[in-house]
Structure 1
Amino acid sequence: MHIGSKIEAQQRADRINSFRLELEALQREQVVALDSEQELAIGSYHRRLLDQLAAGFDIDTTSRQKQLSLGMGITSSLGAMGLAASVFFFYFQYWGWLDTKTQVTVLLSMPFIGLVLTMGAARLDKSGHFAKLLALITLVCFVLDLSMLGQIFNIPPTPRAMLVWSFFAGLLAYGVESRFMLAMSMLCFAGFLSAQTATWGGCYWISFGQRPETFFPAALVLFLISLIPHRRYPGFAALFRIFALLLFFLPLLVLCNWGEISFLDMESELVEVLYQIVGFVAAGAMIGLGILRGWPEVVNTANCFFTLLLYTKFYDWWWAWMPKYQFFLLIGLTAIFMLLILKRMRFLSIRRKAEAAL
């Protein structure tokens, strides 16, 4: 048995508890009967394995422990945000009292100290709560480091700072297995690549948000990264796919309604129609791909945007002239029709899986 992360260890413990419950149900219904030696062997093996996992990864082996861990996670998140805000305002409260040499020393030392504390907490605290808390504070210190050093030495702002923030946040994410830090890394990377795309399109990089198409390259890159195996970090690949879809469909949804902000040198109405077609085709393709690859997060995200695109077009086409009861009746009938289609797709998926098993 090789388990390399806390998430894998928790998944194994959850499977053991589910197995125990299912075995008890099967025995009550007299579907299977184990003799005393078999029950003892299975029970002792599971207890020994759970003890090893709990000692090595500090996982939750009971439902009560999982509830307490959830509360600890919420508390640590609130504490991290509070301490990060405290560090941020502390800098601006006393910054003017320090000379330039002291300011530079503080800025250079704080991220390094935070990184050492984060790695130390990751080694000493198997639960990971303190490590993730310190990781967020370290990231805030690092962001302030680059920003305020630029102000001290009068360095003009550049999108490359977001690339450095993304790399640092990614290191912390993989170091402490934090999905929140990974999300921060992806947001910074998306900001950098979108700003670069805006400059390639002839815009000033700070104005990248005014051109939604600048986010499409970042969406493509994140989706390609999600295809890289993340065996030691379960959930990371799914998060990459979710952010990739968000960075693609959200700008596309904007362009479907405001074609005049597009890079395309076309009439705004034609741009809107073009992106509406792209949106429906892409959402349908992602739903199909998610079903084939077993990616529920892709199916759910694409389905949400397909529904948003569809209902947005319904509003544009029929709200102004159609009686309101007919409009909402059409909405309800469309939802039922989509439900039937998804049910059919689910049935075909189950049948395909059963045929493959045979």
Structure 2
Amino acid sequence: MDETKPVTTNTPLNKTQAQARADQVLAFRAEQQILVEQGVLILADDKAAQVRDYHDALLQQMQQEQNVDLNAQARHLSLGMQIVSFLGATALAASLFFLFFQYWGYFSTVSQVALLIAAPLLSLALAVWLQRVDDSGYYAKLAALVSFTAWVLNIIMLGSIFNITPSANAFAVFALYGFVLAYLLHVRLLLAAAILCSFMFIGAQFGSWMGSYWVHAGEYPEHFLLASAMFFAVPMAFKQQRFDGFANIYQTLSAVVFFIAVLVLANWGSASYLPWSADLIEGVYQVVGFVASALLVLFGIRTHAAKLMLTGNVFFALFLYTKFFDWWWDWLPKYLFFLLVGLTAILALTMFNRFRAIQHAWMQSAGGEHV
């Protein structure tokens, strides 16, 4: 063929979607080769060339636009680059931190303030510039992490210079800058840091409203329940298709925080604000934990979110096994206790296999409706 029609897509793909599409193309080519060798699929030369040229153009476009990996070696290299960039950002952030404290006393107050203001701004400008010139995005993300560290140091050191009373509002400022960097430069690690800072700020505010000092917000896990539910719902209210992996971070991190808080309350009812006995509070939160983790598994199955299903499974097992320990560890023989745990795992495996069969049947019926 002399010409190949340009490849166009109806909607822009993020990197995860582009990588999935590239994997589909590569899997199709491998299966097509097997079918041709076995004589099952026979295409005319012009048709085979047309399909091959279309896939070549599609893979080239996605590789240029989203830097997808087209083989296992490239995928392994990408993983290595992610690890190295994270370690490099951590090392540079630590270097910046210790540099400030090593020579801080040699600067005048005006110089200190100027350095604190300039550090995050200059590193932000560097990150934006690197994003434009570097297609891989790793250097821009590294600079963004350094900029976030400089911002945190900025707030802490300015508070120290001007003797400002520490407050939970600092976490709100950290979170705001983290969200800006995460969405500007597509950095998932900074999104996670911003969400955690938001949890700290909201939890501290709840603690202050309930009459406790904000530093002790972590002593009452109920401070974080509402915040985790709010952030879990963010991807439902505001779609995150343009931002690779952001929806998963919102929901998985929120679910983890929620279940940790419920797990603590299910075992230490005295940490609750509820005006009931500790045993009743623990019983209520145990039920909440079982129901919420089971619902999260079902939600993950319905939305095809593997990490949410895994999170629900893990915490359902934790709630179940902590209750087994409370009920039977002291009076059951150890071999019988672990036998009971093993049989429960087999029962759970059977249930999950049933869920999988139901999901498969649902997908088949949904596919049949579109035939």
TM-score, normalised relative to structure 1? 0.96
Query: Does residue 1:287 correspond to 2:287, yes or no?
Result: no
Q: What is the match of residue 63 of structure 1?
A: 72
Query: Does residue 1:246 correspond to 2:256, yes or no?
Result: yes
Partners of 2:71 and 2:45 in 1: how far apart? 24
Alpha-carbon contact 2:181-2:190 (below 8 Å) kept: yes
User: Cα deviations across residues 252-308 of structure 1 (Å, max 9, x unaligned)?
Assistant: 111111111111122111111111111111111222222223222221101110100
User: Cα deviations across residues 18-54 of structure 1 (Å, max 9, x unaligned)?
Assistant: 2212222332343322221112111112222222333
Partners of 1:291 and 1:4 in 2: how far apart? 23
The one-letter code of the counterpart of 2:185 is V
Alpha-carbon contact 2:252-2:308 (below 8 Å) kept: yes
Partners of 2:52 and 2:33 in 1: how far apart? 12
Q: 1:85 deviation in Å?
A: 0.4
SS at match of 1:253: helix
Q: What is the match of residue 35 of structure 1?
A: 44
Partners of 1:59 and 1:345 in 2: how far apart? 33
- Which stretch shifts more, 13-22 or 276-285? 13-22
Flag structure 2 segments of 5+ consecutive residues without an equivalent.
1-8
**Among residues 160, 171, 177, which one is paired with 1:151 in the alignment?**
160
Q: What is the match of residue 25 of structure 2?
A: 16
**Among residues 138, 149, 154, which one is paired with 1:140 in the alignment?**
149
- The count of aligned residue pairs is 358
The one-letter code of the counterpart of 1:113 is L
RMSD over aligned Cα atoms: 1.4
Alpha-carbon contact 1:242-1:297 (below 8 Å) kept: yes
SS at match of 1:33: coil
Q: 1:12 deviation in Å?
A: 2.8
Alpha-carbon contact 2:14-2:241 (below 8 Å) kept: no
User: Cα deviations across residues 313-336 of structure 1 (Å, max 9, x unaligned)?
Assistant: 101110001001100000000001
User: Cα deviations across residues 113-154 of structure 1 (Å, max 9, x unaligned)?
Assistant: 010000011111110110111111000000000111111111
Partners of 1:177 and 1:14 in 2: how far apart? 22
Q: What is the match of residue 131 of structure 1?
A: 140
Alpha-carbon contact 1:218-1:247 (below 8 Å) kept: no
The one-letter code of the counterpart of 1:350 is H
SS at match of 1:256: helix
Flag structure 1 segments of 5+ consecutive residues without an equivalent.
none
SS at match of 2:267: coil
The one-letter code of the counterpart of 2:283 is V
Q: What is the match of residue 107 of structure 1?
A: 116
Q: What is the match of residue 54 of structure 1?
A: 63
Identity of aligned residues (%): 40
Output aligned runs, 1:1-358, within 5 Å: 1=9, 2-3=11-12, 5-227=14-236, 228-358=238-368
Q: What is the match of residue 5 of structure 2?
A: none
- Which stretch shifts more, 331-340 or 260-269? 260-269
The one-letter code of the counterpart of 2:150 is C
Q: 1:4 deviation in Å?
A: 5.1
